[in-house]
Amino acid sequence: MTKQQVQQRVLQNGKPLDLDKFEWDEKTNTFSSEEDYLVIDFSDISYCTFKTGSYCTFKTGSYCTFDTSSDCTFDTGFSCTFKTGSYCTFKTGPYCTFHTSSDCTFKTGEQCVVVRRDVYEVIELEENKEIRLNEYGKKGFTYIDDDEVEKAIKLLEEKGRIKKGKIIT
């Protein structure tokens, strides 16, 4: 995939991200940008790496790696690895690993693990059970309503950041 093709999959404020605001490595399928508020639709693509700022929304295939700041939303396939800040929302398949901070929300498949950096805690996630990590500095989590992740995605749809899981062009 060329950088111009990637540009059509990455939006900021409803428009394709300027070419000078991101890097794309075709050999490793690595997307890098320091920009915030990106909407990235790689839903039909696996084996990618993403390095971004905060408030980003991702829809990707499987075997992806994410290194982001806080307040991001992820809807991915399986066997993904995440290194994020706080207040992120994850809806993933099985076999994922999460290195996060506080106040994140998870709905995952089987055999996923969260490693919290703020309190040095490891949490084995239960398949199809939604949890929210406790606030900063407080170990543990709480189970949440099954619809809460979908509500977060719906809110993003209402704000025009995503539309039925697809980027608005």
Q: What confidence score (pLDDT) does residue 149 get? A: 56
**Token code pair at residue 27:** 């050999």
Whether 11 is in a domain gets the answer yes
169 within domain boundaries: no
Pure H helices in the chain: 3-7, 148-158
The torsion angles phi and psi of 146, rounded to 5 degrees, stand at -60, -25
Q: Could you tell me if 152 and 162 are in contact, meaning their C-beta atoms sit under 8 angstroms apart?
A: no
Domain for residue 168, yes or no?
Answer: no
In a domain, 166, yes or no: no
Residue 64 placed within a domain:
yes
In terms of Cβ atoms closer than 10 Å to its own Cβ (0-12, 13-18, 19+), residue 13 is exposed
Instruction: Indicate whether 26 belongs to any domain.
Output: yes
Q: How many domains does the chain divide into? A: 1
Dump pLDDT digits (tens) for 1-18.
Answer: 999 999 999 999 999 999
Enclosing domain of residue 128: 3-158
Can you give the pLDDT at residue 167? 46
Q: Is residue 27 part of a domain?
A: yes
Residues paired with 24 in a beta bridge: 31
The H or E element containing residue 46 is: none
The whole-angstrom separation of Cα 163 and Cα 31 is 22
Q: What is the pTM of this model?
A: 0.79
76 lies in some domain: yes
Q: What is the number of residues in the chain? A: 169
Mean pLDDT, the chain cut into blocks of 10 residues (169 residues total): 96 96 97 97 96 96 95 94 92 90 87 87 86 90 71 65 49
Q: What is the pLDDT of residue 168?
A: 44
**CB neighbours of residue 129 within 10 Å:** 12
pLDDT score of 107: 87
- How far apart, in whole angstroms, are the C-alpha atoms of residue 121 and residue 11? 35
In order, the DSSP letters of 49-69 are: EEE--SS-EEEE-SS-EEE--
